[in-house]
Amino acid sequence: MDFEAAVDEDILAVANPIMDNLMAASTDIDHARHTRDFTDRLKRVVMPDYLRDVCEKYQAEKGFFARRDLVAIFRRPDSAAIVWRQYFTKAPGEFVAEMVLVYRDGKYLCDHAAVF
């Protein structure tokens, strides 16, 4: 996919299933599933103990992931940064969910993701 020329729907068709899996796997605190679509760089950052600590903290404070609405897609020659408005089941208000999508070694991967 040419990220700079791609329409939102084409980028989201790839990004949404990856983000859905990240969120479901973090809810289950399943490291293998959570990192399956990560670049090697990101896999070196998100170790099992780190993921468990982060997930237990956000689940205790905010609950679980709820609705997610697209805010914007930022296109670059070799990637797309997708930003969503994220809601939780316990914490009121709006949060930010973001992911950087890249194409490496014949597949689309997440090179960065965060919710804050």
This prediction's pTM: 0.93
Q: What angle do CA 36, 42, 43 make, to 5 degrees?
A: 50
pLDDT tens, the chain, 116 aa long: 999 999 999 999 999 999 999 999 999 999 999 999 999 999 999 999 999 999 999 999 999 999 999 999 999 999 999 999 999 999 999 999 999 999 999 999 999 999 99
Amino acid present at 74:
F
Amino acid present at 27:
T
pLDDT digits (tens, 9 = 90+) for 61-93: 999 999 999 999 999 999 999 999 999 999 999
Residues 6+ apart with CB under 8 A from 113: 19, 22, 42, 97, 98, 99, 100
Taking the CB of residue 88, how many other CB atoms lie within 10 A of it? Answer: 19
Sketch the domain layout of the chain as residue ranges.
8-115
Amino acid present at 76:
R
CATH class of 8-115: alpha beta
- b/e code 6-31 from CB counts within 10 Å (16+ = b): beeeebbebbeebbebbbebbeebbb
Looking at residue 83, its pLDDT comes to 98
